[in-house]
């Protein structure tokens, strides 16, 4: 502890002068004990100030690392890449084939219509389920937006079967002419989106390629 006393000896020598010049900021004690207490008080205040400064600086660094404000060029690139008008955003957000089914007899979407998607196998000459869970139901809006994840690279001949009989029985319709509706279509361009609306009633139906 002698080295500490040697270092602080100039401070002890000037402690009385500091106490006299700042009587309201430093504690007033007499003799060598007063000098020691004054030095201790100044040291504690300095440590407190250093702690407050280091804490504030640490918070600033954490805030700067967490919240990064991009430059104007990076911001424009981010807005462009995440815009709903960007084709990449659209393709990743929905199925390549979407469906919308409307019941013309009541003028409302047809909810809960079973739909099955199959792909023609030219080698076996048979319709094969395109995926493991190939049968889905239309939602409350009569739509299916998550039918498949992707299309085969070579395209192919598809058949979409709408089980209208199951729908008619569910809604209490006893007289109908079409127990199911089959829509066969060929896909060549696998980068495009295909929307298939179906407007049907117990005695008629129509379909087309939508957008």
**Is residue 43 within a helix (H) or strand (E), and if so which, with residue range?**
helix 31-66
**Rounded to the nearest 5°, which phi and psi values hold at 28?**
-100, 115
Instruction: Report if pTM > 0.85.
Output: no
pLDDT for residue 87: 41
Computed over every residue of the chain, the mean pLDDT equals 77
pLDDT for residue 84: 39
Max distance between CA atoms of the chain, in angstroms, equals 113
How does 71-106 read in b/e, with b if 16+ C-beta sit within 10 Å?
A: eeeeeeeeeeeeeeeeeeeeeeeebbbbbbbbbbbe
Of the two residues 172 and 55, the one the predictor is more confident about is 172
Domain at 96-207, CATH from 3.40.50.10540, 3.40.50.720, 2.60.120.620, 2.60.40.180: 2.60.40.180
pLDDT mean over 67-83: 46
pLDDT for residue 32: 58
Alpha-carbon gap, residue 46 to 52, rounded angstroms: 10
pLDDT tens sequence across 175-199: 999 999 999 999 999 999 999 999 9
Beta bridge partners of 183: 160
């Amino acid at each position: 502890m002698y080295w500490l006393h040697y270092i602080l000896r100039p401070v002890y020598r000037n402690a009385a002068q500091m106490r006299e010049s700042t009587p309201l900021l430093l504690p007033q004690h007499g003799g060598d004990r007063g000098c020691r207490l004054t030095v201790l008080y100044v040291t504690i205040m300095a440590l407190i100030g250093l702690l407050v400064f280091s804490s504030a600086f640490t918070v600033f660094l954490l805030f700067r690392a967490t919240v990064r404000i991009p430059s104007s060029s990076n911001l424009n690139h981010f807005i462009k890449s995440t815009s709903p008008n960007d084709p990449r955003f659209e393709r990743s957000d929905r199925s390549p084939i979407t469906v919308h089914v409307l019941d013309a007899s009541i003028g409302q979407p047809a909810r809960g219509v079973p739909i099955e998607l199959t792909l023609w196998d030219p080698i076996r000459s048979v319709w094969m389920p395109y995926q493991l869970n190939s049968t889905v139901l239309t939602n409350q809006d009569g739509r299916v937006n998550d039918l498949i994840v992707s299309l085969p690279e070579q395209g192919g001949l598809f058949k979409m079967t709408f089980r209208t009989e199951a729908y008619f029985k569910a809604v209490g319709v006893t007289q109908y002419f079409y127990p199911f509706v089959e829509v066969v279509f060929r896909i060549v361009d696998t980068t495009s989106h295909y929307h298939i609306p179906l407007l049907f009633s117990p005695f008629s139906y129509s379909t087309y390629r939508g957008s």
